[in-house]
Each structure stands twice: as C-alpha cells, then as structure tokens.
Structure 1
Amino acid sequence: MAQAATSTPTPDPAFLKWPASASPEYIEARRALLDEEFALRNQIERVAAQRRALPPGPILPKYVFEEGPADLTLNEPSREICLGEVAGAGGKTLVLYHMMLGENAEEACPACSMFLDGLNGVAKHLAQYITFVVVAKAPLEKVRAWARKRGWVNLRLLSSCRSEFNKDMGVERPAWFSELEQGPGISVFRYEVEEGKPKEEGVMRHFYTTTPHFAEDVVRGMDLLSPVWNLLDLTPEGRGEWNPRNDTV
C-alpha cells in the first residue's frame, strides 16, 4: 500500500534558491525569507480551505443580463440571459468579474482592464474547469466596444444595465467606497438542481465575493489574481508608485 503524503514542516534545505556564488550573508537572509515565504504559502492554503468550507450562501433572483454574439466584431444579435442559463448549461461553477464600467463612463477602470487583460489570456484554460464571465453596468455596446479595444476575444461579456444585480451585490455605489459609481470585485456562484427536478429548474446560489478593499484606505484584496502585482513584488523596486493606465493599450 502506498504511504499517504505528508507535508514538510519546513522548507527542504536541499532545494536551493540562490546561485552557487551567493555570499554567506545573502544565504542567511534568503533562508530567513524562505521560512516566511513557506509560512505564507501554508497560510494561503489554510485560507483557501476555510473559503471552500463556507456554508451555503443565498439563492439569487433571476437577474436578466444582455449578451452579444461570440464574435466580438459584431454587436448583433444580442439576447437576454440569466446567470442560471450561463452556468447551468455546463454545470460548472460560475466565476464573475465585476468590471468598473458605468453607464456614463467613457472607459473602464485601468486596474480592472489590467486584471482582465491577464484573464483574457488564460480564459481557455479556465473554461476547462469553470465558467468565467465579465459583468458591467454599462450598456452592452459600450462593454463590447471597450473589449474590442483591449482585444478581449476570449472573455464572455454581459451587461447588467437593466437589472439591480450590481446594487444587490454591493458593487454599485458600494458602502465601502461611496465615491465610486461602480466598484470592482469577484463573485463565485454555484448552479444547484434539487434531486428529482429537471436541470432547467435549478437555482443560482452565491458562494463567495471579494473586492480589493478591506477598508476605504486598505486595499490589495484581489492582488493574488493578478500576475502583474505579484511579479512587481519580486523586484528590488517593488510596486513603488506605479499604477496601471489605459493609454498603454
């Protein structure tokens, strides 16, 4: 019988993470940092397990969204669709990005756009395991026009302009940042069907939502989802005062 895998209590010293020419001073400091990185990794695993163990969330109303064709160069035909129809077809967990693009905004939030630039690149990988969509309050034509400008050919785009979805989810004039017309965030939903009922009679149940803000002046609540921030954190300069801009694309 194969033995069950056991977790290593500390980083294995045989796995070196520095060049052979590193000084003793560097190695000592790097080993201390490695212990902290390992502790952080373990904490991330514990938090993920705690998240997965959340009790069932509320059942969502049947919000109606607008969606255009898969071909991003076209705006018609468009259709009305519910989240249950989006998730129910494949039976996968639905992950939804709340994009900051309001009804009167000229362009989307630069940080949201940076996040979605990256997610567009991995969307085909995500589709093997989950259903991923982007929702914005702006009219569908404006959402698709911004997506065309950014080259988001792999993202599924929905407009919530005719529903109370954003408000009910706490991302429209959010209490945690009332100056924002629309706030960013990530939400996760599950499509559930009671035993004995047809698949089309399932419901959408909320599982998890997060935003960048822990308080009005305490952010970085979604940074793990962006390779940009994580790569900058590896550099000696760190993030500095840099922020994403829309004029780079």
Structure 2
Amino acid sequence: MTKDLVPAAELAQRSPVRFPNESAAYRAARTALLAEEIELRRHLERVAAQRRALPPGGEVTGDYRFEGENGPMGFADLFGGHQSLAVYSYMFGPQRERPCPMCTNLLGALEGNGADIQQRMALAVVARSPIERLIAWKKERGWKNLKLYSDLNGLYSRDYHGVLPDGSEIPSFNVFTRRDGTIRHFWSGEMTGDSADPGQDPRGAPDLAPLWNVLDMTPEGRGADWYPRLSYET
C-alpha cells in the first residue's frame, strides 16, 4: 500500500492554501513542513497498524478488585458489553492531598470525549483512593462521562505499572481485550523516563493530551518550565 502513495513532497506542492501577505520564504518553508507533516501522518498510520497486529498479550489472571460508584466489581465487569477496555491509572492515591495536575488535565480531555469513546470501547479510570473520595473529586471537576474506580487491594496498580516497586505512583494507560471469554493485555504506553530524549519529560507518542499538541503548534512550543494546575486565579 505504501508504495502506491503519492510522495509527500508532491502532495505538499499541490496544496492551494495561501494566506494574506505571506512571503515566498514563508511559503517555501511551510510547504517543506507540510511534506513532513504528511509523512508524520503516514508514520502514525503505520504505527497504528503495527500495534493492531501485535500477537496476543498475557492473560489477565490477577485477583483484581475494584469499587465503582455502584459498588464492588471484578476486572471483567469493567468491560461492560465491549470487547476492548482502556484503563488509566490516576495518580490520586490516599497519600495525596490532591490528585496529580498532569493526570487531571489529560482526564479532562478524555472526559470531553468520554461519551463518544464509550460507544466503541470501555474506558475506566482507576485510582487507589477510596471511592467516596473519587466521587467527591469527580463532582468537584464536573465530570460526567468518566467512570472512576477504587483499586481495593492495589494489585492491579502494582501489576500494570500504576505503582512503582518503591510505592510511588506513575500514570499508566493500558488496553485490554476480551475474546471468547479470555481477557488479555493488549497494549500499554511504555515510554518512560528511560526512553525520554535529552531535555524532554517522559511522554508517549502520539501524545494523548490535546494540551501539548496545541502548544506544539505555537512559536513558544511546550516550554520547559510550565505545567497545568488544578485551578487558576480568575
């Protein structure tokens, strides 16, 4: 399929887009960038296809117990009627006075798309705080589409990298499948600090948080000294 694609540089040259008062130098540089953006889009498609083609992951066999807004649940219950389940490990354990601002920013974006996402798959947010605390926080944020669960025995968080061996929390995003009654791990974001490039915070690709993607489109970029907060002065 790839060999039949029109070269990205040729597609970029075909673009009819022009803006008032732009210089020839700007247009030449923008056209070169457009070719790279087309290549990036194609690379993302190749990565997604490679991800979908992964062999079956490990079977989920742990004694994972959760409590949701409607009571206790097992791991299989998180799927509802879907075959795929995404679980975000929220850095909001009982030792935290307030949850992680970075996690909260990302979840705010998932909240906005939650109703749409859950037409195609199940989506769960797991944290180690008691469910009453999670419900209160959900109400404070005005979230309606996210389903929050307390990891009652902490086993899920430990096995699927929401908690490090020393007990500290890290964000984790895992996808699971259920086929013919068997639940398996499918994929997880595995870009940690060990795989970060120099000068970068650890992050995956593509970045799930719209915040950073939007900032990447500005002259200032993401910067190196700013992070989202849980609230701002009005």
Scaled by the length of structure 1, the TM-score of the pair is 0.82
Look up the SS of the partner of 2:30 in the other structure: helix
Look up the SS of the partner of 1:247 in the other structure: coil
Contact 2:101 2:228 in 1 (8 A): yes
Contact 1:185 1:212 in 2 (8 A): no
The one-letter code of the counterpart of 1:186 is F
Question: What is the Cα deviation at residue 92 of structure 1?
Answer: 3.0
Contact 1:184 1:211 in 2 (8 A): no
Aligned residue in 1 for 2:211: 228
Question: What is the Cα deviation at residue 8 of structure 1?
Answer: 2.8
Question: What is the Cα deviation at residue 108 of structure 1?
Answer: 0.9
Cα separation, 2, equivalents of 1:203 and 1:107? 36
Cα separation, 2, equivalents of 1:134 and 1:145? 15
The one-letter code of the counterpart of 1:170 is H
Say which structure is richer in helix.
Answer: 2
- Computed over aligned residues only, the root mean square deviation of the Cα atoms, in angstroms, reads 2.1
Aligned residue in 2 for 1:74: none
Cα separation, 2, equivalents of 1:222 and 1:104? 30
The one-letter code of the counterpart of 2:65 is V
The one-letter code of the counterpart of 2:64 is Y
C-alpha offsets along residues 150-176 of structure 1, whole Å, 9 cap, x if unaligned? Answer: 1111111111132411111122126xx
Question: What is the Cα deviation at residue 205 of structure 1?
Answer: 0.7
Aligned residue in 1 for 2:124: 133
Aligned residue in 2 for 1:191: 178
Aligned residue in 2 for 1:150: 141
Instruction: List structure 1 runs of 4+ shifted beyond 3 angstroms.
Output: none
Look up the SS of the partner of 1:66 in the other structure: strand
Cα separation, 2, equivalents of 1:139 and 1:118? 23
Cα separation, 1, equivalents of 2:172 and 2:232? 23
Contact 1:68 1:140 in 2 (8 A): yes
Aligned residue in 2 for 1:199: none
Aligned residue in 1 for 2:221: 238
Alignment of 1:30-179 (within 5 A): 30-61=30-61, 62-69=63-70, 79-87=71-79, 89-173=80-164
Scaled by the length of structure 2, the TM-score of the pair is 0.87
The gaps in structure 2 that reach 5 residues or longer are none
Cα separation, 2, equivalents of 1:100 and 1:212? 17
Question: What is the Cα deviation at residue 58 of structure 1?
Answer: 0.8
Q: Does 1:7 align with 2:5?
A: yes
Look up the SS of the partner of 2:36 in the other structure: helix
